[in-house]
Amino acid sequence: MARTQATGKVTGPDRSAAGLLGRALGRLGRAGGLVFLLAGLALSGYGAYEGAYTAGWAGTHGTLTVQQCEVSYPNNASRSSRKNRRPVRCEGTFVADGGTNTDPKAAVQVRQRYAQGTELSVQQTEPPTAAGASDADYVQSGTDRAWRWFGAFFGGWVLTGLGVFCLATGFAPFGRSRISFDAAWEAAGRGVTRAAVIGMIGVGLVGAGVCFLVSYFF
């Protein structure tokens, strides 16, 4: 029975079920925090990686002279994605600054078509594996693109901060939570968790905002 007839008090089985539910929701909160944490780290890492190349800090800078550009949609792309996304592949000859190396089979993904003979500023991220191979990797370089990637890097800090908060307190970022936000926030203030979370989210928001704002001036 869930309750006694005389007192209406909850018996042992119900308390046990409530405890199991609470522990399950606690694990859900920490699982959600782990997802946020991993997503934040991945976003920051990828943003830093791409930003370093598009800014010209890594790889080999040079010019790709366009021979042809073509648009190719994935076979499983939906109508909306076909309308909003135009993956363009431009092929041509890459010449590194100073003429140190060339690649007549270079190709780069860009956002729009370019006329034959257009010179694109690109960064070679990976050289060809062999002479005459067409497997080198390139990204279109540019200050505006670099700032946007750095904005993504800082955006990852926000997700990482949320992940740390949920992992440390058990607060579930979605669905029903075993612990309320107010209680979780109070618990986070007993150590360094709250300061770390505020620092990561604050730096992430400010950094991402500044990077995306600056990117529009280039």
pLDDT digit string, tens, across residues 85-135: 558 999 999 999 988 889 999 999 998 899 999 999 999 998 888 777 778
Q: Which DSSP symbol is given to 3?
A: B
pLDDT score, position 74: 55
Residue pLDDT, tens place only, 127-176: 888 777 778 999 999 898 899 999 999 999 999 999 999 888 888 776 56
SS3 60: strand
Q: Which tokens belong to 6?
A: 């005389």
The pLDDT of 33-45, averaged and rounded, is 94
pLDDT score, position 17: 45
pLDDT score, position 19: 45
SS3 65: strand
Dihedrals phi, psi of 139, to nearest 5 degrees: -130, 145
Amino acid at 61: H
Residues 6+ apart with CB under 8 A from 128: 103, 105, 134, 135, 136
Q: Which tokens belong to 136?
A: 């080198």
| Bridge partner residues of 89 (DSSP) | 70, 109
Alpha carbon distance 154, 208 (integer Å): 5
Which residue has 């979605």 as its token pair? 174
Q: Give the residue with greater pLDDT, 187 vs 198.
A: 198
Amino acid at 133: A
Give the pLDDT band of residue 2 (cuts 50, 70, 90).
very low
> In this structure, is the dihedral angle defined by the CA atoms of residues 88, 89, 93 and 99, taken in order, positive or negative?
positive
The pLDDT of 59-73, averaged and rounded, is 89
Give the pLDDT band of residue 50 (cuts 50, 70, 90).
very high
What mean pLDDT is reported for the chain? 81
Rounded to two decimals, the pTM is: 0.70
Indicate whether 209 pLDDT > 70: yes
Alpha carbon distance 64, 70 (integer Å): 15
| Bridge partner residues of 96 (DSSP) | 62
SS3 191: coil
Q: Which tokens belong to 211?
A: 């990077």
Identify the burial level of 165 via C-beta atoms within 10 angstroms of its C-beta, where 0-12 means exposed, 13-18 middle and 19 or more buried.
buried
